[in-house]
Structure 1
Amino acid sequence: MREIKQLRSQAKRELMAAAAARLLIDEGPSAVTHRRAAEAAGLAAGSGNYYFPSKKELFRAAVAGAEDLRSESALKVARDCQGGQESLTSVALRLMAIYFAPQLGSNVVTARLNPILEAGHDPELQEIIRNHQPLLAGALNIGLERMTGQALPSDDMELLMQTIGASLLYGFALGEDDLLGYSARSTARILELLDVRIAAAPDPRSSAERVAPSA
C-alpha cells in the first residue's frame, strides 16, 4: 500500500513538473508558482508545496521539463524544413523557430530567454541549459541543411545560437517593434558571413522523370 501511495505521489509530482514547464514556455518565469502549476496539473491548488517544498525546486523542475520539450520539439520543426526559402532572412526566422520550439512569439525574451539568464545564478540550472545545447545545435543543423544544403561546424553553430539570443536581447533593449524581424535580419547577416547560401527549390519530379529522355 505504501509503494502504491509513493507511485501516485511521484506521478502527481511529474504532472505538476510538466505543467510548470508548459507555464514557463507559455508565459515565462513569473507564471511558475505552486498554485498555478498545481491547478494546471489538475491537482488541488494548495497541494503544490507537498510535491515541491520550495519555489527553487519547482523552478528547476520547470526548466528541466521546458528544455526537454524544447529539444524534442526543435527536432520535429527541423525535420519539417524544406529548401526553396525566399531569402536568408526567412531561413533565419525558421532557425529561430527551431531554437525556440515549440513556439516562437513576440514574448520570446520575457518568456524564453529570461529562464536562460536565470541559469547564470544557479549551477544546477546552468547544467540543465548546457546539457541541452548540443541537442538544439543538432536540430538547427538538420533544419539548416534541409533549407540550404549546408551544415555548420560546431564553433560556427555556437556563434549562430549566440547571435539569435543576443540579437533578441539587444532588439528588446532598443524597443524594436518587430523584434523577431530584427533578430532574423541579424541572424541572416551571420549566415551570410558564414557563406551559407539559399538552396534551390527541390525538383517536384520523381527521379525517373528527371532522367527520362525528352520526346
Structure 2
Amino acid sequence: MEGKQERSRERKRRMAEAAARLLISDGPAAITHRRVAEAAGLAPGSGNYYFTSKQALYAAAVEGAEELRSREAQARAGALEARPRSLEQIARELMDVFFAPGLAADVVPLRLLPMLDAGRDPGLQQIMSAHRPRLARAVATALERMTGRGLAEADVELVMQVIAASLLHADGTAPGGGLDSAAATVARVLGLLGVRAPSGPSAS
C-alpha cells in the first residue's frame, strides 16, 4: 500500500513539473490533462486521476512555473559578470532575469498576459505574490552585479512593473521590435532612478 502511494505521489509530482514547463514554453492552452500526462511520460488518460479538475492542474502549473522562474532568475542574476554595458544592455539583462528561464519575442501572449489573468484569481494571485520577493531579490542582485549600485525595494518593484508595462506597450506599438523598444523604456527609467552604465569600450 505504501509503495502504491509513493508511486502516486511521484507521478503527481512529475505531472506538476511537466505542467510548469509547458505553461512557460507554450502558455495556458497547453495545460490539459492529456498533454501534461504525455509530457510527464504517463498514460494520456491518467491525468484526471492525479488532478481531478482543470483548476487544480492549472494551479499546480502556476505554482511550479513560479518556483522555476524564481529559481532560474536567482541563478541567472548570480551568474552575471561585472563588465561594461550600456543602460539598454543592463535593461535587457534585467528583463531576461525577470522572465527567467528565458525571454522570447512571444513573451507577452505566452507568459505576461496569462500572468496578469492569473493575478485576477485570488488563489493564483496568492501563489504569484509568494514568489514576488524572490524575483525582486534576483532583479536587485542582477542590477548590483552589473552596476555596483543597489536600489531601494520600492524602486526595484517599480523597475519590475515598468518591465511588464513596457513589454505590453511595445507589443502593440512595435511589431517585431518589441523587446528592443521595451528595453529602451526600461533603460530610460533606470536612468531616471540614477542608475549609471559602467564606462568602457563595450558599453555601446
On whether the aligned pair clears a TM of 0.5, the verdict is yes
Partner of 1:52: 51
Distance across 2 between alignment mates of 1:121 and 1:54: 19
The answer (yes or no) to whether the contact 1:176–1:182 under 8 Å persists in 2 is no
Moved over 3 A (4+): none
**When the two structures are superposed, what TM-score results if normalisation uses the length of structure 1?**
0.90
The answer (yes or no) to whether the contact 2:85–2:199 under 8 Å persists in 1 is no
Distance across 2 between alignment mates of 1:172 and 1:153: 29
Distance across 1 between alignment mates of 2:69 and 2:84: 24
**When the two structures are superposed, what TM-score results if normalisation uses the length of structure 2?**
0.94
Partner of 2:81: 82
What amino acid is aligned across from residue 97 of structure 1 in structure 2? Answer: D
Whether 2:109 is the aligned partner of 1:131: answer no
- Larger deviation, residues 127-136 vs 114-123: 114-123
The answer (yes or no) to whether the contact 1:63–1:115 under 8 Å persists in 2 is no
Q: Which structure 2 segments of 5+ residues have no match?
A: none
Distance across 2 between alignment mates of 1:156 and 1:121: 24
SS state of the match for residue 182, structure 2? helix
- What is the Cα deviation at residue 200 of structure 1? 4.3
Partner of 1:154: 153
What amino acid is aligned across from residue 103 of structure 2 in structure 1? Answer: L
Partner of 1:210: none
Whether 2:204 is the aligned partner of 1:193: answer no
Question: Please, what is the CA RMSD of the aligned residues?
Answer: 1.2
Q: Which structure 1 segments of 5+ residues have no match?
A: 202-215
Partner of 1:15: 14
What amino acid is aligned across from residue 198 of structure 1 in structure 2? Answer: A
Distance across 1 between alignment mates of 2:62 and 2:107: 15
Partner of 1:71: 70
Larger radius of gyration: 1
Partner of 2:25: 26
What amino acid is aligned across from residue 18 of structure 1 in structure 2? Answer: E
Q: How many residues align?
A: 200
